[in-house]
Amino acid sequence: MLAIRLPASIEKRLEKLAKRTGRTKSFYAREAILRHLENLEDIYVADQVYARYLKGEEKTIPLEEAMKRHGITAEMAHDMEN
């Protein structure tokens, strides 16, 4: 269980969104935390890998090789940019 205090302005925005969509405030608070948590976890892992890279413990590969490993074509990469 988690209880948090929100500034009144955020609380009102959350209430309006919940009313407009028929979802609960808890639903949106959970969604926001989960999305932000995933980003924070990704950043933490990236920081760890970068630290290992700086120590010479992690190797890099050319972009073309990474794309090949993950089945990404140049055309697909171009489409992702747009």
- For residue range 26-54, list pLDDT tens digits in order: 999 999 999 999 999 999 999 999 999 99
Looking at residue 48, its pLDDT comes to 97
C-alpha to C-alpha distance for 76 and 67, rounded to whole angstroms: 10
pLDDT of 23 > 90? The answer is: yes
Q: Residue with structure tokens 């009313």?
A: 19
List helix spans (H) across 1-82.
Answer: 8-21, 25-54, 63-69, 74-81
